[in-house]
Amino acid sequence: MWNLAFMRHYTKSLELELSGGQAFRLQRPYLSHWFWDHVLTPNSCAGLQDGQLRFRIGNTDFDLPVSDEAISTATAVGQHLPSATSVTWDEGLIRIAIADQQVVVRAGSMTDWYVANEILVHDEYSLASLPSNLDTVVDCGANIGVFSACVGARARRVVLLEPVADNLRLARKNLELADVTEKAGFEEAALGADSAGTLTLKVYKDAQGNNSALADHKDRFGESEEIRVPTISIEDLFRKHDVDVCDLLKCDIEGGEYDAFENVPESVLARIQRIRMEYHLFDSPDLQERFKNLRKRLEGSGFRVAATDPLTPDGKPSGVTYLAATRIPDEALVMPTGQSL
């Protein structure tokens, strides 16, 4: 068994010896995160068969192409999704089944499986605490659609906003697996202060869940490219998709939340009933001040707001930080820790 937890970019290699004396070497440049761990056990690899690697996670055997991307993702899935009932190779994607939910993730992505783990296993957005019947849900920063696929069963409709075409392609597949495509609307754009133009988005090759236009994100997650994407404001998104009342707005847009919410008119903000947000601070006094103002803005609009501590015990900004807000009287605000606030 081997575990890695670090924040450095370097090339690592691993030689696997299989039954029958077969061996091969995996070598790949990695930018690692605190969540980028792998587990390989003596029983993980059963051998090569018809050019495929017979792999085992828990009690499940499946075949993968002999590639470092596929195997690295599968080992990460085995470590971080212990409740996965099955893992299969699906035309270049890895399909994970957890309870009655199925999602696909890209082989080699550092973040796809982590997003699945956050939402399906750890309930990052505290969906279990929400009513079983929701009207319109708006998913800003939909990424590969795991949140919308999960919440879709209890919503009358979902609107997904995602600026990267490859993420949106996977989101469509995940909503299809969840059988909620017919109630979904899609918008290929980034949430912004207005709908007047475009912004430059840094898109990471192996960490597509961290794509951002924020300067603090620059070169944090390995190899990337910059693309121009259209922007749309909350007001125009609601208008375009006929959102009169938004029962739940989920927002995870890697630092873009401040521009989007600082500029939303009060009349539009008043149409939102609940917010679940991942907010971003990095080591930036400016972002910390903007978060304080964002919280004050929401409370001034009539929301009750709860947020996880933006600082670690040693006074540094937390890596992942959450906000929950509601206008519903007596509705509990439940954070990802399960603590009711």
Which domain CATH number covers 153? 3.40.50.150
In a domain, 71, yes or no: yes
CA–CA dist 75, 56 (Å, integer): 9
Structure tokens at 329: 């009287």
Q: What is the pLDDT of residues 253-274, one digit of tens each?
A: 877 889 899 989 999 999 999 9
Do the beta carbons of residue 278 and residue 241 sit within 8 Å? Answer: no
Dist. CA 130–CA 128, nearest whole Å: 6
Low-confidence ranges of the chain (pLDDT < 70): 1-90, 108, 202, 204-224, 227, 317-320, 336-341
Query: Percentage of the chain with pLDDT > 90?
Result: 33
Tokens of 335: 């954070």
Chain segment 17-37, per-residue pLDDT in tens: 444 454 444 444 443 333 333
pLDDT value at residue 254:
76
Q: Judge whether 1 lies within some domain.
A: no
Say if residue 249 is in the same domain as residue 280. yes
- The verdict on 127 and 96 lying in the same domain is no
Q: How many residues does the chain have?
A: 341
Read off the amino acid at residue 111.
Answer: T
* Residues 139 and 76 grouped into a single domain: no
Q: How many CB atoms lie within 10 A of CB 316?
A: 12
- Determine the pLDDT at residue 158: 98
- Say if 336 falls within a structural domain: no
Give pLDDT, residue 212.
57
65 and 101 co-located in one domain: yes
Do 272 and 311 have their domain in common?
yes
Q: Count of domains in the chain?
A: 2
Of 116, 141, 168, the domain-final residue: 116
170 and 262 housed in the same domain: yes
Query: Of 116, 144, 164, which closes a domain?
Result: 116
Residue 278 · residue 167 · CB < 8 Å = no
Q: Which of 66, 93, 116 is the last residue of a domain?
A: 116
* pLDDT score of 235: 96
Distance between CA atoms of residues 267 and 263, nearest Å = 12
31 and 137 inside one domain: no
Amino acid, single-letter form, for residue 136: T
Find the domain containing 262 and state its range: 123-326
Same domain, 270 and 316: yes
133 and 165 belong to one structural domain? yes
Q: How many CA atoms lie within 13 A of 1 on its CB side?
A: 5
pLDDT at 106: 80
* Same domain, residue pair 183 and 129: yes
- What is the structure's pLDDT at 4? 35
pLDDT at 39: 36
334 assigned to some structural domain? no
Six-digit token string for 148: 């919308």
pTM value is: 0.78
